[in-house]
Amino acid sequence: MATTSKTVAARTRALADGNLIPLFGLGVWQVPDGPTTVNAVRWALELGYRHIDTAQVYGNEASVGRALRESGVARDQVFVTTKFNPSRKDAAAELERSRQRLGTDYVDLYLVHWPQGGATRAWPGMERARELGYARSIGVSNFGRRELDQLLAVAPVPPVVDQVQFSPFEDRRALLEGAQQRNIVVEAYSPLGTGRHLSNQTVRRIASSIRRTPAQVLLRWCLQRDLVVIPKSTHRERIAENAQIFDFSLSDENMAALDSLDRTDGTDRALERPWW
Ligand code: A2P
């Protein structure tokens, strides 16, 4: 466990605003509020995770906050992300509510969850939240390259992160390259395809050939593609397994085999279909 702790927490990269983000974290999308979320976050912190990703629409910020407090890990040692629900009016006002639910003075990263109402609609409230010191860094989620450009054209404070679904099967290469050129770090959500990609034959073959698990192969692929990655699990042993990705690498050949699984044609879009 000590090894996991050092290994997971130590790996960070700098965002364009100078703040550091851990390369790996726990996502809690679809984890019910209450003991399930409290346990998942508590186990992750025990196992050395120092990055937790929640959102207003997940409905589990209070449990994330509870686990953070009960863990005994200092607040400044954990990178906490939440996301503005863009069906609400004002991002700064909603962060006030998130801070209360989380029981924290600030979040490390605050994202516009999706570009409802257009790419720029929520941004003034995001900038205000940052100015007030309640969000250390601000960014977006589910923004394609076109939406990033619409926002960058007008934003005094540029977004430093775009969180999108990313995996060998959703290999949005043009979006990743575009984001990199614009100094925006891409975070991969649903890197396991919410579990669906774990049974793929190519993924399984590579995993068994290097004595790793399918989840580790998919997560390592993300790291080698310069993505920050936030897999979700509610099981302690899986939370531990998913963190063991800093002590091996995938060969060029295995990376290429995984790259060939892409079904998006290397798109610059964040989503195949918007849900709003
Ligand atoms: P569970 O939460 O029951 O552990 P994604 O991160 O792509 O959204 O994937 C999350 C899904 O994958 C969840 O259903 C989670 O199940 C499952 N999962 C997460 N880690 C592993 C793992 N190491 N092995 C098998 N399934 C996993």
User: For the segment 230-265, what is each residue's pLDDT rounded down to a tens digit?
Assistant: 999 999 999 999 999 999 999 999 999 999 999 999
For residue 198, how far is its CA from the centre of ligand 1 (angstroms)? 9
Question: Tens digit of pLDDT for each residue in 157-169?
Answer: 999 999 999 999 9
* Residue 90: pLDDT over 60: yes
Range of weakest confidence among 8-12, 61-65, 70-74, 260-264: 8-12
Q: Name residue, tokens 């010191």.
A: 133
pLDDT reported for residue 10: 78
Site to substitute for ligand 1 among 54, 166, 192, most atoms within 8 A of C-beta:
192
Please confirm, yes or no, whether 106 is among the known catalytic residues: no
Cα distance between residue 39 and residue 237, in whole Å: 12
Nearest CA residue ID for atom 16, ligand 1 = 233
Integer Cα distance of 139 and 113 in angstroms: 9
Does the CB atom of residue 26 touch ligand 1 within 6 A? no
Ligand 1 atom with least separation from CA of 197: 7
Question: Is the pLDDT assigned to residue 107 strictly greater than 50?
Answer: yes
> Hey, CA dihedral for 262, 265, 267, 271, is it positive or negative?
negative
DSSP assignment of 245-260, as one string?
Answer: -SS----HHHHHHHHT
Question: Does pTM surpass 0.85?
Answer: yes
Q: What average pLDDT score do residues 194-199 get?
A: 98
Joined tokens for residue 190:
């649903």
Helix (H, G, I), strand (E, B) or coil at 263: coil
pLDDT exceeds cutoff 90 at 129 = yes
Q: What is the mean pLDDT of residues 174-194?
A: 98
Share of residues in the chain with pLDDT > 70 (%): 97
Question: What is the pLDDT, as a whole number, of residue 4?
Answer: 53
Structure confidence at residue 2 as a pLDDT band (50, 70, 90): very low
Q: What does the DSSP 8-state code read for residue 44?
A: H
Is residue 6 pLDDT above 80, yes or no? no
Residue 15 CB contacts under 8 Å (≥ 6 apart), including other chains:
21, 137, 160, 161, 185
210 pLDDT above the threshold of 50? yes
Nearest-angstrom CA–CA distance, 184 and 113:
16
235 lines ligand 1 (CB under 6 A): yes
- Please determine, for residue 113, whether its predicted confidence score (pLDDT) is greater than 60: yes
**What is the rounded average pLDDT for all residues in the chain?**
96
| CA dist., res. 129 & res. 90, Å (int) | 10
Helix (H) or strand (E) holding 13: strand 12-14
Averaged over 49-64, what is the pLDDT? 98
Ligand 1 in contact with 117 (CB < 6 A)? no
Q: How far apart are CA 125 and CA 267, in angstroms?
A: 29
Which residue in the block uniquely carries the two structure tokens 């490390």?
Answer: 108
Q: How far is CA 233 from CA 27, 28, 190, 192, 272, in A?
A: 8, 8, 11, 10, 24
Do the beta carbons of residue 110 and residue 135 sit within 8 Å?
A: yes
pLDDT value of position 274: 87
